[in-house]
Amino acid sequence: MNNRIYFDNAATTSLDKEVLDAMMPYLTTHFGNPSSIYSYGRETRLAVENARKAVAKILNAHPAEIFFTSGGTESSNTAITAAVRDLGCKHMITSPIEHHATMHTTEHLHDTGEAKLSLVKLLPNGHVDLENLEELLASITEKTLVTLLHANNEIGNILDIHVVGEICKKYNAIFHCDTVQTVGHYPFNLKETPVHFITSAGHKFHGPKGVGILYINEDVKIKPFINGGSQERNMRAGTENVYGIVGFAKALQMATDNYEKESTYIQELKKYMYDQLIAEIPGVRFHGDVLGNSLYTVLNVGFPKSEKSDMLLFNLDINNICVSGGSACTSGANQGSHVIKAVYPAEDTDSVRFSFSKENTKEEIDIVVEKLKEII
């Protein structure tokens, strides 16, 4: 096997050639600082604002609601911190299976005494218990922030963003939704979605790394998280990542234009691997709501424990197969997956996340399943 098989697209995707082509002029000829008043600056300022309009149109938001950032982590940090410090939220509700950008930020604000923190319960399949969410909101007297993933990056479960938004509206709570795994993979209509903040990162849908967005609903007024300049309409200081912003908009446009075809194709890959693993590997199990309300890009698999399986990721890596994983049990420096531990506390398997893109094939899946049979 000379060619590398890349099944870790939930971590990052390859940069699309058309996206790179759109970015190149802003890496070479159009190098001006968008804050400069001469022609070089005006060219790049126009590129940034055209990208903002394009992104807003795709998400059905107003351009003034779209702010460019360095990625999902910065966007989530900004939204969560602003909800506490600027919008008066004295209580935060999140889940035990959030991305660390949310978990660590809420824990920090709790540790500094700025806001209390509650964790919503999970259902046996890993979905958020919405009845428990409403019970928590009903019992809390302070203004509350609810911050939950739209789609879990490890097991793929999808939250009903509209139902959660309506629950938050009922209790006058602020709602931040980490949509890093879904923007670029599903259609959005933010004018019709009851949410105050969403976040996104370009590298999850074949755009560049180091650029993302924070959507801030027009009814929400917050202060900057990063200070030092008037960029992003005084909301986010720092010279704009012009070529990244151009690439983000191009990648999102391509993902939107090709959504029907590519999502169907990737869903078929996921189902094919699911079927092949069941047929070929005894004792295999799957995590999350696998064939239900789940990301079409993610398949999280629990493999039976064995002497060989302890080195599963390593053995896949030396066979040029790129995946990510975590185990429900902890050993040494490998703390395992906090998501698997939270949803399946009693399970003792080696957990591997396979995540697919438009560039993967069934032939690659056949090779990986054969290699897994050898290893396990």
Chain segment 59-86, per-residue pLDDT in tens: 999 999 999 999 999 999 999 999 999 9
Q: What is the pLDDT of residue 310?
A: 67
Q: What percent of the chain has pLDDT over 90?
A: 91
- pLDDT value of residue 365: 98
pLDDT on residue 114: 98
By the 8 A CB rule, do 247 and 205 touch? no
What average pLDDT does range 5-32 have in this prediction? 97
Domains, the chain, ordered by start: 5-13+259-375 (3.90.1150.10), 17-257 (3.40.640.10)
Any idea how long the chain is?
376
| pLDDT tens digits along 210-253 | 999 999 999 999 999 999 999 999 999 999 999 999 999 999 99
What is the average per-residue pLDDT within 13-38?
Answer: 96
104 burial level (CB within 10 Å; 0-12, 13-18, 19+)? middle
- Residue 325 — pLDDT band, cuts 50, 70, 90? confident
Instruction: Please report the pLDDT score of residue 304 as a whole number.
Output: 87
With a CB cutoff of 8 Å and minimum separation 6, the contacts of 21 are none
Q: Which of 79-93, 249-263, 331-345 has the lowest mean pLDDT?
A: 331-345
> Which residues have a catalytic role annotated?
329
Q: Which position has the token pair 């890009």?
A: 297
- Give the model's pLDDT for residue 225: 96
Q: What is the pLDDT of residue 269?
A: 98
Residues contacting residue 317 through CB under 8 Å, at least 6 positions apart: none
| Three-class SS state of 250 | helix
Distance between CA atoms of residues 152 and 19, nearest Å: 26
Instruction: Give me the pLDDT at residue 84, please.
Output: 98
How far is the C-alpha of 181 from the C-alpha of 11, rounded, in Å? 9
Q: Which two tokens stand for residue 232?
A: 């992003």
**pLDDT tens sequence across 292-316:** 999 999 999 999 887 666 689 999 9
Instruction: Read off the pTM.
Output: 0.95
The first and second tokens of residue 65, run together, are 């609601």
| pLDDT tens digits, one per residue of 281-294 | 999 999 999 999 99
pLDDT number for residue 3: 86
pLDDT score, position 349: 83
* Least confident stretch, 172-181, 331-340, 342-351: 331-340
Which residue has 């924070």 as its token pair? 214
Beta strands in 183-337 (DSSP E): 197-201, 212-216, 285-287, 298-303, 321-322, 324-327
Q: Tell me the C-alpha distance between 144 and 141, whole Å.
A: 8
**Which pLDDT belongs to residue 330?**
36
**Cross-strand partners of 146:** 93, 175
296 and 290 in contact (C-beta within 8 Å)? no
Is a pLDDT exceeding 90 seen at residue 347? no
Which of 93, 56, 51, 114 has the alpha carbon at shortest distance from 242?
51
Determine contact, residues 148/128, Cβ cutoff 8 Å: yes
Q: Which pLDDT score, from 0 to 100, does residue 2 have?
A: 54
Give the span between the Cα atoms of 342 and 126, in whole angstroms: 8
Q: What does the alpha-carbon distance between residue 129 and residue 163 come to, in Å, rounded to a whole number? A: 12
What amino acid is encoded at 228 in this protein?
G
Q: How confident is the model at residue 336 (pLDDT cuts 50, 70, 90)?
A: confident
User: Hey, is 20 helix, strand or coil?
Assistant: helix
* Average predicted confidence (pLDDT) for the chain: 95
Least confident range of 73-77, 131-135, 333-337: 333-337
- Say which residues have a Cβ less than 8 Å from residue 113's Cβ, sequence separation at least 6: none
* Whether the predicted pLDDT of 150 surpasses 90: yes
Q: Which residue has the tokens 């490890």?
A: 154
- Report whether 350 contacts 310 (CB < 8 A): yes
Q: What is the pLDDT of residue 350?
A: 85
Residue 309's pLDDT is 63
Q: Pairing between strand 298-303 and 350-355?
A: antiparallel
